[in-house]
Chains A and B, each alone.
Chain A
C-alpha cells in the first residue's frame, strides 16, 4: 500500500518481524529491549524472538521488578532500565589519538563506527528525550559531530505506551504516552482480538520501509483501539509533576530548607544521571601507551553528583551534596529551559525507580518552595 507521513496501517506479529528483518537487510543494527537479569535492558537484537514476550514491570521509588503478564505482549512494560542515549552518546568514546614525534604532536582522529542503528521500541518519552539531547548536542552553534552523525544515520521505531509504571509522569511533561514527532515509525501494540501493531508513519524513511512490508490499511476499529489504549495509559500515570511556575519556584528558592533535607537522604551515587535519558555531561580522560608516545583522549559519561565534577584549583565549586543535588534538579527542571527552550525532564521516571534511596524528583520539585509545615 502507499504510505506517507501520517498514514496508518496494521502489521500482525509476522509483519512486525518482516519489518525488523527488512531494517536489518537495509544495513541497520537493531537495538531493542530484552529481558535479562531481571530487568528490561537494551541490546542488539535479531528479531522479535529476542523481545521480552509476556513480561511486564513494576516500578516504584527505589524498586524495580519484572512480572509475568497474562498475554504475549512484546512491549508490555513501561520503560527499560537503561536509557537509549548510549546509542548516540556512547558512555566511552575515543576522540583522538595524539602521537608525539620528538617535540612535535600529530593528531589523528579516532576511527568512527560505521553501522547505523535502528532503535526498536523507544517509548514516546524516550523519543522526546532524543529530541531534548538533539537540542543540546546537535542543534547549537558547536554541534557534536559524532552525536550528529549517529543520530542522522539512525532509524527510530517508537512504540506507544499502554502500560506506564508507578514512576511514570510523561503526561505532566507532555511527552507521551503517544509519540507525536521524532520517529520514523510509531507502533501501538494491540492484543485483542488478535496480536497486531497499528503503525503510524512519521517520516519518508519510515514510509519507504513500511511500503515494502505489505502492511494492511488500518481500520477505524484498529485506530480506535490504539487510541483507547493510549488514553488508558494516560489515566494510569504513577506520578505527576506540577509544571506551573516550576522554573520560577525552583530558581526563586535556591536556599530553601528542602535542599538540606534531600541532601541528608541523597547518597550522591549518580544513578539518576546515568539512568536519565537526557543527562549529557561528559568528562575527557587521558591515557597513553606504555612508551608514552601515543596518547588517547577518551570521552566518558560524567555526573554532576561527582565531587570532582566542578573542581577547579583550590577545590570543588560544589563541595556539598546539597549543592550538587540542587544543581542537578534545578538544571533538569529549570535552567535547562533557559538554555535550550525545553525542560530537561521527559517524565520517564527512571531517576525515581533507580535511586537507591527512592528519592522522588516529583516530590522534591514540589516541596522546594513550599512553606515549612
Chain B
C-alpha cells in the first residue's frame, strides 16, 4: 500500500525518522513492524516508532545499513513509499499493567520501544515505577535526545543514560548498559522488563536482570532477522521453531533464551 511521506527528519548520523500519512487510519500495537518498500530496490522490515494512539501519522525510524535503507533515505517529504503491515507480536503492556515497568534500550533499539513507552506514559497511572535505561555508543549517537531529556524531567519517570565512550561533552556515566541495570532500583517480584538493542546487549541485560532476581518470564526482548514476506511464508526469519515475523519480533525471554545463546541458530 503506497503511503505518502509527510515529514522526513534527520535524527543522528545515518538515522532518520519519517512521519507517513496513511490514507486511512492506521492502527498498530507497540512492538509491531511494517515492511517498507523502496521502488525497484527492495523491501525491509522496520519497527514502528510512533505513538500507537495517533492513527493519522505513522512513524518509522530507519538506520542506513544497506541498499534498501539507502534508497529509502534518498526519498523526501511528498514522495510515496510502499508499506505492508503491521506485522508481528507486541510488547506486553497488558501483562505489565499494575507492575513496575523497566525499559532497557541500546542504540536504535529505542525506536521499537518508543511506542510502548508512549503508551505507558499516556496511561501512566496504570503502572508502578517506570524506569528507562538507555545506552548509546557516544553522546552524538543518542537517539531522540530531546525527548529523552523531557522524559528525564518528569517526576514519575526514572531515566538513566550511559554511553560506551565520550568526549568532554558528556557528564553522565560511561560504560555498557548492564552497569546501569545492575544499579537500577527495581523490585524484582513486581517488574516487567522490555529490552531492545543488539542481541548481545539483550543477552547480557537479561543475565543481569536474572541476577537481580527477575524470572526470565518477566523479561521481554525484540529480535531482528532477515524477512521477505512478514507473514511466515518465506522461511527466512526462522529461529528454531519460531518465525520471528509472526511469533516475534517481541518474545518472552524464557521462550527464546536457549536459542539466543547458541551460535548460528
Which chain B positions have C-beta within 8 A of A136? 233
Q: Determine how close the nearest CB of chain A comes to the CB of B131; give it in whole angstroms.
A: 29
Asked if B2 and A335 sit within 8 Å, CB to CB, the answer is: no
The digit string for A170-211, where 1 denotes a CB below 8 A from any CB of B, is: 000000000000000000000000000000000000000000
Q: Determine how close the nearest CB of chain A comes to the CB of B236; give it in whole angstroms.
A: 6
Q: Which of B77-85, B148-156, B175-183, B184-192 contacts A (4 or more CB under 8 A)?
A: B77-85
Asked if B40 and A107 sit within 8 Å, CB to CB, the answer is: no
Closest to B1 in A: A107
User: Does chain A have a CB within 8 A of B86?
Assistant: no
Q: Which of B89-97, B113-121, B221-229 contacts A (4 or more CB under 8 A)?
A: B221-229
Given known pairs A137-B233, A309-B226, A331-B238, the reply for A320 and B264 (CB within 8 Å) is: yes
Closest to A311 in B: B226
Enumerate A84-121 residues with CB–CB distance to B below 8 Å: 98, 100, 103-107
Query: How far does the alpha carbon of A141 sit from the alpha carbon of B243 in the complex, in Å?
Result: 13
User: Does chain A have a CB within 8 A of B240?
Assistant: yes
Query: How far does the alpha carbon of A309 sit from the alpha carbon of B235 in the complex, in Å?
Result: 9
- From the candidates B37, B41, B238, B264, name the one contacting A335 in the complex (CB within 8 A): B238
Asked if A313 and B235 sit within 8 Å, CB to CB, the answer is: no
Closest to A99 in B: B39
Enumerate A284-324 residues with CB–CB distance to B below 8 Å: 284, 286-288, 292, 295, 297, 302, 304, 309-314, 317-320, 322-323
User: Does chain A have a CB within 8 A of B65?
Assistant: yes
Q: Which of A17-25, A214-222, A226-234, A275-283 contacts B (4 or more CB under 8 A)?
A: A275-283
User: Does chain A have a CB within 8 A of B15?
Assistant: no
Which chain A positions have C-beta within 8 A of B39? 98, 100, 105, 288, 295
Quick one: which of B40, B78, B246 has the most chain A CB within 10 A? B40
Query: How far does the alpha carbon of A286 sit from the alpha carbon of B262 in the complex, in Å?
Result: 33
Q: Determine how close the nearest CB of chain A comes to the CB of B61; give it in whole angstroms.
A: 15
Interface footprint category on B: 35 or more
Which chain B positions have C-beta within 8 A of A327? 238, 265
User: Does chain A have a CB within 8 A of B167?
Assistant: no
A-B contact count (CB 8 A): 108
Closest to A296 in B: B40
Which chain B positions have C-beta within 8 A of A312? 224-226
Query: How far does the alpha carbon of A320 sit from the alpha carbon of B240 in the complex, in Å?
Result: 16
- From the candidates B40, B65, B232, B264, name the one contacting A288 in the complex (CB within 8 A): B40
Which chain A positions have C-beta within 8 A of B79? 103
Asked if A338 and B236 sit within 8 Å, CB to CB, the answer is: no
Asked if B232 and A106 sit within 8 Å, CB to CB, the answer is: no
Query: How far does the alpha carbon of A304 sit from the alpha carbon of B236 in the complex, in Å?
Result: 8
Quick one: which of A105, A280, A287 has the most chain B CB within 10 A? A105
User: Does chain A have a CB within 8 A of B51?
Assistant: no
Query: How far does the alpha carbon of A6 sit from the alpha carbon of B196 in the complex, in Å?
Result: 56
Asked if A142 and B233 sit within 8 Å, CB to CB, the answer is: yes
Which chain A positions have C-beta within 8 A of B262? 254-255
User: Does chain B have a CB within 8 A of A144?
Assistant: yes
Q: Determine how close the nearest CB of chain A comes to the CB of B8; give it in whole angstroms.
A: 12
User: Does chain B have a CB within 8 A of A339?
Assistant: yes
Asked if B228 and A318 sit within 8 Å, CB to CB, the answer is: no
The digit string for B137-177, where 1 denotes a CB below 8 A from any CB of A, is: 00000000000000000000000000000000000000000
Enumerate B222-258 residues with CB–CB distance to A below 8 Å: 224-226, 228-229, 231-236, 238, 240-243, 246
Query: How far does the alpha carbon of A251 sit from the alpha carbon of B39 in the complex, in Å?
Result: 41
Asked if A287 and B236 sit within 8 Å, CB to CB, the answer is: no
Asked if A339 and B241 sit within 8 Å, CB to CB, the answer is: yes
Given known pairs A103-B79, A105-B81, the reply for A281 and B263 (CB within 8 Å) is: no
- From the candidates B2, B224, B226, B235, name the one contacting A105 in the complex (CB within 8 A): B2
Which chain A positions have C-beta within 8 A of B242? 339
Asked if A335 and B240 sit within 8 Å, CB to CB, the answer is: yes
Show 25 residue pairs from A and B whose CB-CB distance is below 8 angstroms, ordered by the A residue.
A103-B80, A104-B2, A105-B2, A105-B39, A105-B81, A136-B233, A140-B233, A142-B232, A142-B233, A142-B246, A254-B265, A281-B236, A282-B235, A284-B228, A286-B42, A292-B40, A310-B236, A311-B226, A313-B66, A317-B225, A320-B264, A327-B238, A327-B265, A334-B241, A339-B241
